[in-house]
Amino acid sequence: MNDSERFQTENAGDIAAMKGDPDLMAMSRMWARAVAPYRYPYHFRWMGQPIIQVPQDILAMQELIFQIRPRAIIETGIARGGSAIFYASMLALLGEGGFVVGVDVDIRQHNREAIEAHPMAKHIKLVQGSSIDASTVAEVHALVGDEGPVIVALDSNHTKEHVLEELRAYSGFVKKGSYLVVFDTLLEDLPSEMSAGRPWGPGNGPKSAVEAFLRENDRFVIDDDIDAKLLITVAPRGWLRCVKDP
């Protein structure tokens, strides 16, 4: 075993040990709950634009992008555009012509202008419409086609019904070895009052959608090594690795 192999083996052992430490995992969830009222994910920017993600998840996505080298990344729910710009910047660094398709039911004019004026804009294609409408999915398909690899990141309406329909609609873009990432599964681990005024909450959110989806689709498995490695993530049990082509 050479030094690189030894390093990788030691890392895998440490991650497995963390995954088997219930106190450590519980403390991580407690920390996430403690910072949630302060809108912690809103505090960070990528290349000048709010990204609305926690740093650990940003780093995890970077690792997946470098590993998979996707031809396209589909993101539902682009908000202020920072995450689309982040994905685009990673694809630009790879230099292989990859692009981002950002889907949102309401791309506000000031956000659209900020994205379209950004240096990464040439790597981003915007689609306005409900992510689960057949016409929107068809428009995304026209842009992406059937060739892979493709990474899908779901981060729009967080109700169970909506996320489940997104999973059904966009899972077909993902081929074996790539990932479908469902953000904000953490919402179902937070106190219900934190979802006050929202249509989603414990029992009616992304994590419930993932569980329902996996009962009907055998092409994906939860990569809980990512959860264990990150400890802090808004997507616990939301990192879905594709193990079988459509």
Per-residue pLDDT reduced to its tens digit, 107-138: 999 999 999 999 999 999 999 999 999 999 99
Q: What gap in Å lies between CA 139 and CA 136, rounded to an integer?
A: 5
Quote the pLDDT of residue 203: 86
Cα torsion through 60, 217, 170, 220, rounded to 10: 20
Instruction: Give residue 10's pLDDT.
Output: 95
DSSP 127: E
Query: Band of the pLDDT at 148, cuts 50, 70, 90?
Result: confident
Tell me what pLDDT residue 1 has: 86
Kind plus residue range of the DSSP H or E element containing 161 = helix 160-170
pLDDT of residue 192 exceeding 80, the answer is no
Q: How far is CA 220 from the centre of its chain?
A: 15
d(CA 16, CA 203): 28
Question: Parallel, antiparallel, or unpaired: how do β-strands 49-50 and 72-76 relate?
Answer: unpaired
pTM of the model: 0.95
Tokens of 135: 């016409």
| Range name among 15-19, 74-78, 160-164 with the lowest pLDDT average | 15-19
Burial label, 3 (beta-carbon count in 10 A; 0-12, 13-18, 19+): exposed
- Among 173, 161, 190, 157, smallest CA distance to 240 is for 173
Select the more confidently predicted residue: 240 or 148: 240
Kindly report, residue by residue over 9-56, the tens digit of the pLDDT.
999 999 999 999 999 988 988 898 899 889 999 999 999 999 999 999
Instruction: Provide the 8-state DSSP code for 114.
Output: H
Average pLDDT score, the chain? 95
Q: What is the share, in percent, of the chain residues with pLDDT greater than 70?
A: 100
Contact 107, 126 (CB under 8 A): yes
Per residue in 195-204, pLDDT (tens digit) is 767 788 788 9
| More confident position, 20 or 194 | 20
Identify the pLDDT of residue 90: 98
Q: How far, in whole angstroms, is CA 140 from its chain's centroid?
A: 17
Buried-state track 209-232, b at ≥16 Cβ within 10 A, e below 16:
bbebbbeeeebbebbeebbbbbbb
